[in-house]
Amino acid sequence: MKFTKMEGCGNDYIYINGFAERIPQEKKPALVRRISDRHFGIGGDGAIFINPSQEADCEMEMYNADGSRAEMCGNGIRCVAKFVYEKGLVRKEHLTVISAGKIKYLDLSVENGEVVRVRVNMGSPVLAPELIPVVMEEIPAPDRVVNEPLVVDGREYRMTCVSMGNPHAVIYTDGVEKLDLEKIGPGFESHPRFPRHTNTEFVEVKDRSHVFMRVWERGTGETLACGTGACAVTVASVLNGLTDERVTVKLLGGELQIEWDRKANLVYMTGPAVTVFEGEIEEEAYV
């Protein structure tokens, strides 16, 4: 099985060409777990299969490192665009990608035949608690979750919840660089108020147009970046009156430019996509 290792701001995945590789669906979770292992496999935050689609230019079938399915990855979808363009699968500078039944629209910046940056229309943020989903304790429940209390391991935090195709809980706190996410992250991910678990962003606001965040991703753990998380943080920061609608989000692996066009209610993400290396493995050794 041939593969391509790619990363966006350090959020790295193993990309498999589903146009050419035919892997039984039931084998994919185990395959992803093995190849994502950073000691015994290729190593990555998960794997993404790039498949043909009748609804869009291609399909992005995404898995977390633990083999669970995920709905969307902002850094991953930029790499999908780079992959299909440079491999000649979809030779368009404006293309569509479907993931978990939802279509995203991408604009590619191409230099000398190489995709260097991608702007993604990430769609409208979902704020309704039942759609994120997050369980609300108030009766009647509010129509959005902004600066609401959440107790994790005996400590109270304030959360703002947003779905960008996958659930996010945004937490504002000081000393983000020094947080022990390995210790506190699992308590957020598996908290009973998140029935489908959640990604959690820990954020410091630097000024009206700059924030710093670290992220604990469900099914993976801490990653160097999260594109949907950066989008959720921007929306949450605007809702809390902390930033303007255009924000540079600094992550451990780099920076993303995020804009929430509130008039159109659309979120746009711009960032890099990088090919790390390519290779081939014996699929049978991993399933």
- Local structure of residue 43 (DSSP, 8 states): -
Which tokens go with 235?
């929306």
- % of the chain surpassing 70 pLDDT: 98
> Which one of 9, 79, 161, 226 is the catalytic residue?
226
Average pLDDT (116-134) is 97
Q: Tell me the CA distances in angstroms from 166 to 5, 36, 50, 286, one per residue in order.
A: 23, 21, 19, 28
Side-chain half-sphere CA neighbours of 88 within 13 A: 1
Residue-wise burial string across 213-249, b where 16 or more C-beta atoms lie within 10 A, e elsewhere: bbbbbbbbbbbbbbbbbbbbbbbbbbbbebbebebbb
Q: Is the pLDDT of residue 286 over 60?
A: no
> Which helix (DSSP H) or strand (DSSP E) does residue 30 occupy?
helix 28-36
Q: 135 is in which domain, residue-wise?
A: 129-264
As a whole-number percent, the residues of the chain with pLDDT over 90 amount to 95
Do the Cβ atoms of 32 and 94 come closer than 8 Å?
no
Q: 72: closest CA among 11, 21, 31, 114?
A: 11
- Residue 287 pLDDT: 58
Give residue 142's pLDDT: 87
255 and 203 within one domain? yes
Q: Are residues 138 and 255 in the same domain?
A: yes
d(CA 140, CA 118): 41
What are the tens digits of pLDDT across the range 250-278?
999 999 999 999 999 999 999 999 999 99
Q: Are residues 114 and 186 in the same domain?
A: no
If asked whether residues 62 and 144 sit together in one domain, one would say: no
Mean pLDDT of 64-69: 96
In 3D, which of 195, 186, 181, 183 has the Cα closest to residue 219? 186
Integer Cα distance of 30 and 64 in angstroms: 11
Residue 255 CA: distances (Å) to CA of 27, 75, 214: 35, 11, 12
Place of tokens 């633990």: 66
pLDDT band of residue 284 (cuts 50, 70, 90) is low
Residue 138, pLDDT above cutoff 90: no
DSSP character at residue 26:
G
Q: Are residues 90 and 145 in the same domain?
A: no
Please tell me whether residues 141 and 234 are part of one structural domain. Answer: yes
Is residue 161 among the annotated active site residues?
no
* pLDDT for residue 141: 76
Q: What is the pLDDT of residues 177-236, one digit of tens each?
A: 999 999 999 999 999 999 999 999 999 999 999 999 999 999 999 999 999 999 999 999
Q: What is the mean pLDDT of the chain?
A: 96
Q: What is the pLDDT of residue 282?
A: 84
Q: Which of 58, 73, 161, 231 is catalytic?
A: 73
Q: Which two tokens stand for residue 26?
A: 């039931």
Phi and psi at residue 227, to the nearest 5°: -70, -45
Per-residue pLDDT averaged across 114-133, rounded?
A: 97
Q: What is the CATH number of the domain that holds 258?
A: 3.10.310.10
Count: domains in the chain:
2
**How far apart, in whole angstroms, are the C-alpha atoms of residue 20 and residue 276?**
20
The mean pLDDT value for 89-117 works out to 97
First CA to last CA across the chain, in angstroms?
Answer: 12
- The mean-pLDDT minimum among 7-16, 135-144, 173-182 falls in 135-144
Distance of CA 63 to the CA centre of its chain: 11
**pLDDT band at residue 283, thresholds of 50, 70 and 90?**
low
Residue 133 within a domain: yes
Query: Average pLDDT, stretch 160-188?
Result: 97
Inside any domain, residue 124:
no
Separation of CA 255 from chain center = 14
